[in-house]
Amino acid sequence: MGTSTTAGPPDAVKLLPVIDPDRLRADLAAVEKHFLVHANPTADHAERAEDEQTGWDVLVLRCPGGDLDKIGRNAGGLADFADTAYLELTPYVREILDGMNVPIRGVRFSSLAAGAEVQEHTDSPYGLPVGWVRLHIPVETSDDAVLIINGADQRWKPGEFWYANFGLPHSLYNRGSAARVHLIIDCYVAPGLFELFPSDVRARIADDDVMLFREEFGLPEQLRTVRGTIRMPAAFLKPHPELPTAAEWNGGEDTEGELRVQDDRLVLRLGEHETALAHIGDGEFRPLCWTHEQTMVLDTADATPRVVFRYRRGSQVIETSREQPALAG
């Protein structure tokens, strides 16, 4: 990274690693019959017939818990990202991931059938300022399969490795005669990521515009008995495409949840959904499977515990706090 005031990297950047397209195609061939409809698997996980295209399909190699039965069903919760059984069948993908020197989140093959398209949308919160990015490696494609990012056509070739800012408006279409397949790698932002960028692009990325990943630490002894009701600002439970104002972060009607300790982690329960919290030091916790964009800091030293709720984007931080009279431990 650099200290330049130039506003970040381009919308799309070809990265330095050179990929062997034939080895990647061999990995795809080993698993392609297992594709499922993108983000909407069937209840019984029925596999599609060989060569059948359903539009936008996905083959998941890494996901929360490595559990294929939970894909598209609010997965995550209590389990961190892990390999699925399909990653064992794709040794070259494993070699690529191991060579990146970056903490990996999700990995999948994504297939867009001939004649299919995906309407314009944005992925948010997303990007260097919130601590994770999406990388693409084309496997099967043609000049008639086009990704449009922020109004610019992208025609990437097999064997290329690409970063793009998918927090910008983007869409894709495939007017070719065969499916367009990419390997998609979601990773946290860490120093090793920037080693993949050309040097001139690295110089355009200011330190203040980046959120580096913070690993998990064990649960502190003084928090191993925490339990009870926790009061949270409404904004803490929502996604934020941009940095919220202090008023937005503190405003709205508070929400209550339940905290407990399970398997050396704090667990937050909201209604029927549970989320494990990873300790990142000094009593501060981020949601498991996420960055420290939104965190809570527990202070149980006084008679009435207090929790500080923080939001970060790059180096910018806002926070608010709540006393927690119903929280014990």
pLDDT at residue 14 in the model: 98
Number of helical (H) and strand (E) elements in the chain, helices listed first:
5, 21
Coil, helix or strand at residue 13:
strand
Q: Dump the DSSP string for 63-125.
A: EETT-GGGTTSS--TT--EEE-GGGGG-HHHHHHHHTT-S-EEEEEEEEE-TT-EEEEE---S
Q: What is the pLDDT of residue 107?
A: 97
**Where does the pLDDT of residue 289 fall: very low under 50, low under 70, confident under 90, or very high at 90 and above?**
very high
Alpha helices in the chain (DSSP H): 21-31, 91-98, 191-194, 199-202, 246-250
Q: What is the mean pLDDT of the chain?
A: 90
How much is the average pLDDT of 13-35? 96
Rounded Cα gap, residues 127 and 218, in angstroms = 27
Amino acid at 35: F
3-state SS, residue 250? helix
Tokens for 157, please give them: 């070739």
The CB density around residue 37, as the number of other CB atoms within 10 Å, is: 14
| Nearest in space to 108 (alpha carbons), one of 48, 75, 68, 157 | 68
pTM: 0.91
Q: Give the integer Cα–Cα distance in Å for 99 and 188.
A: 15
- Per-residue pLDDT band for 70 (boundaries 50, 70, 90) equals low
pLDDT of 234: 92
Tens-digit pLDDT profile for residues 188-219: 999 999 999 999 999 999 999 999 999 999 99
**Residues 6+ positions from 75 with CB-CB distance below 8 Å:** 63, 64, 65, 67
CA separation for the pair 318, 310 (Å, rounded): 6
In terms of pLDDT, which residue wins out, 52 or 273? 273
Report residue 225 as tokens: 């008995």
Residue 75 pLDDT > 60, yes or no? Answer: no
The pLDDT value recorded for residue 72 is 53
Q: Label residues 258-288 b or e (16+ Cβ within 10 Å = b).
A: bbeeeeebbbbeeeeebbbbbbbeebbbbbb
Rg of the chain over all Cα atoms, to the nearest angstrom: 21
Identity of residue 269: R
- Condensed to tens digits (0 to 9), the pLDDT of residues 235-245 reads 998 889 889 99
If pLDDT is split at 50, 70 and 90, which confidence band does 301 have?
confident
Identify whether the C-beta of residue 279 lies closer than 8 Å to the C-beta of residue 224. no
Chain segment 103-154, per-residue pLDDT in tens: 999 999 999 999 999 999 998 888 999 999 999 999 999 999 999 999 999 9
